[in-house]
A and B are shown apart, each in its own frame.
Chain A
Amino acid sequence: MRQLLRMWKLFAGMDLLWVLRGPRDAAMYVLSDAVLIVASISTTFLLAVRFDGIGHWDRAQILFMLGYAMFVNSLLDTLFGYNVKMISRRIGRGQLDHMLVQPQPLWRMFLTEGFTPFGQPFGLIISIAMLSWTSSLLDRPFSVVWLGILLLNLFASAAIVLALQVAWGAIAFWAPRSAEEINSATNRVVGSLGPLPLDGVNRFLLGGLLTVIPVGFTAWLPARSIADVSPLFPGGLVAPLAAPLFAAAAYFVFRKGLQHYARVGSQRYSNFGHRR
């Protein structure tokens, strides 16, 4: 644990230096972060305001779900930046070698190398503020148990989204060039569908969105239960129970891919160091 903390501190320091290369760079990071936060929730937010809710969700519940989705995405961006979350890029480009030569186990590199608390400074702060505010708007009493379930679900959702990224990103082990950007596609889906209420979606499609591409766990399913849109006992435990399963599946696929990589390596760089 002490080693983990040391590495988080190290990578946080490097992230700060990166952001503070100059006032213009720092300003651009702050500006882009602010714009991205607004854009990421704008569709659902504007619909909820215009129609005073969406389907069974009232406006407060929708806002709560947006805060939930923002927190999940911001947490992952803060902990797994620099293409750790977008692992297909590193695998596809042969950059996994850069991690394998470090005097650290791979899991520790994954846990620490993407720590970027300064590169995206607003996401977590705003999402925590929004979650706190919208929790007070919900028509339900506050309790420590409820808060515990909320926190458990938030981390479970983040784990499921990360598992989604890793499992799909691992395809790049077998198809380095064509799957290099596959995590961009999955990330776009998480970003665009994650903050949407999926209640009206047909069952077949919904099944896919809770298993093959589990974006339904980003916010919709857990928030539905926590915000009492459809209190479903033990609805608040679905995401925490599903998270280990998705994590195990992602680990299995990634491990298989790594074994393949150990045999074939990467052919993406020429002798001159240019990417093919």
Chain B
Amino acid sequence: MSSAQARVHAFGKTVGMSAAAAIGESRLMLLDAGLRIVRVLVLLAIWQTLVQPGEVVSGFTLAGLLTYTLIAEIFAQQLLTKSELDSWLWEGVIASRLLYPMTLVGQLVAQLLGSWLFGFVAVSLPILVVAPLVGVDISPDSWQAGLWFVPSLVLSIAIGLALDVILGAMTVALNLSIWLVDTLRGALLALLAGSVLPLAILPWGLGNVFGWLPFASMGSAPLRIYTGTGDPLPLMALQLGWALVLWLLAGYLWRATRERLVGYGG
């Protein structure tokens, strides 16, 4: 087996292990998936209360808002990418992970891909099935929008992963509680990423400000491209810029703090 084949093999095995762990340890978390579907159905009902068919609000029709909401939930794990790096730090798993014959980023990507399989089967597929039943068209605004969405989503994932590494490095450097960091991250993303409410809908022109932040490049940008409410090229240029800046920062911070890693134990 060549070196490249060995790497691919190791990557594939890690994806498989991650998928198996997510399914094997999370049988009752199917309930969590069910609750996510309930939540999205409630959000759809609220949009239908607020916006009348044919009405246009901040560039969105009701159909556009419903599509935006459903696509945001279908790709929730990718749009708000979060790896298990914090758990690895907390549980001390990071010590053995650093000994694996794979790069840390490679392991994080493999872990993410594996864990997404569970979410895809438990949440995304049911939503795809339910969408026509609740009268929502989930097709992209145009075939070009659908095509642009794919690289935009990849950039969104890259930004999310960089943010993960940065927060992991800061957790180590400042000896922060991972729960505190995770809670803050979740709260900020819920408000700033634009994956729950489209940023354009926000009052007081907040969306114009939030749109420039890296969080918007994670959530809002791909969704705007998909729904045809944003120009793909400037949005993706901003995403690319954030991805580069954040990965440079992530690399620097990780190198600067990895000597201070401590295994805490779970």
CB distance from A116 to the nearest CB of B (A): 14
Determine whether the beta carbon of B191 is less than 8 Å from that of A275. Answer: no
Segment touching A, from B101-109, B139-147, B179-187, B243-251 = B179-187
Once A46-B202, A50-B203, A200-B46 are accepted as A-B contacts, the answer to whether A178 and B39 lie under 8 Å apart by CB is no
Q: Mark A92-112, 1 if CB is under 8 A from B, else 0.
A: 000000000000000000000
Q: How many residues of A contact B (CB 8 A)?
A: 46
Distance of A173 Cα from B74 Cα, bound (Å): 32
Within 8 A of A (CB), among B23-64: 25-29, 31-32, 35, 38-39, 41-43, 45-46, 48-50
Determine whether the beta carbon of A47 is less than 8 Å from that of B50. Answer: yes
Determine whether the beta carbon of A274 is less than 8 Å from that of B184. Answer: no
Q: Which residues of A contact B46 (CB under 8 A)?
A: 47, 54, 196-197, 200
Within 8 A of B (CB), among A200-227: 200-202, 205, 208-209, 213
Choose among B187, B202, B206 the residue with the greatest number of A CB atoms under 10 Å from its CB.
B187
- Does B196 make an interface contact (CB < 8 A)? yes
Distance of A209 Cα from B34 Cα, bound (Å): 13
Once A178-B29, A200-B48 are accepted as A-B contacts, the answer to whether A36 and B202 lie under 8 Å apart by CB is no
For the residues of A in contact with B, the DSSP-based class is helix
Determine whether the beta carbon of B29 is less than 8 Å from that of A208. Answer: no
Determine whether the beta carbon of B25 is less than 8 Å from that of A205. Answer: no
Determine whether the beta carbon of B183 is less than 8 Å from that of A178. Answer: no
- Does A186 make an interface contact (CB < 8 A)? yes
- Does B131 make an interface contact (CB < 8 A)? no
- Does A38 make an interface contact (CB < 8 A)? yes
Q: Which residues of B contact A179 (CB under 8 A)?
A: 28
Distance of A55 Cα from B45 Cα, bound (Å): 11
Determine whether the beta carbon of A213 is less than 8 Å from that of B50. Answer: no
Chain A residue at smallest Cβ distance from B187: A39
Q: Mark B168-210, 1 if CB is under 8 A from A, else 0.
A: 0000001011001001101110110000110001111010000
CB distance from B24 to the nearest CB of A (A): 9
Contact of B38 among A24, A175, A189, A199 (CB under 8 A): A189
Distance of A219 Cα from B188 Cα, bound (Å): 23
Q: Which residues of A contact B35 (CB under 8 A)?
A: 185-186, 188-189, 213
Determine whether the beta carbon of B32 is less than 8 Å from that of A35. Answer: no
Distance of A28 Cα from B197 Cα, bound (Å): 27
Within 8 A of B (CB), among A49-71: 49-51, 54-55
Determine whether the beta carbon of B32 is less than 8 Å from that of A185. Answer: yes
Determine whether the beta carbon of B202 is less than 8 Å from that of A28. Answer: no
Distance of A15 Cα from B48 Cα, bound (Å): 45
Determine whether the beta carbon of B196 is less than 8 Å from that of A213. Answer: no
Q: Which residues of B contact A (CB under 8 A)?
A: 25-29, 31-32, 35, 38-39, 41-43, 45-46, 48-50, 174, 176-177, 180, 183-184, 186-188, 190-191, 196-197, 201-204, 206, 265-266
Please list the 5 inter-chain residue pairs (A to B) with the smallest Cβ-Cβ separation, ordered nearest first.
A39-B187, A185-B32, A200-B45, A200-B49, A55-B49
Given contacts A39-B186, A182-B29, A202-B45, 15 further A-B contacts (CB under 8 A): A32-B183, A38-B191, A40-B187, A47-B50, A177-B25, A178-B25, A181-B29, A181-B32, A185-B29, A188-B32, A196-B43, A200-B49, A205-B42, A213-B38, A275-B266
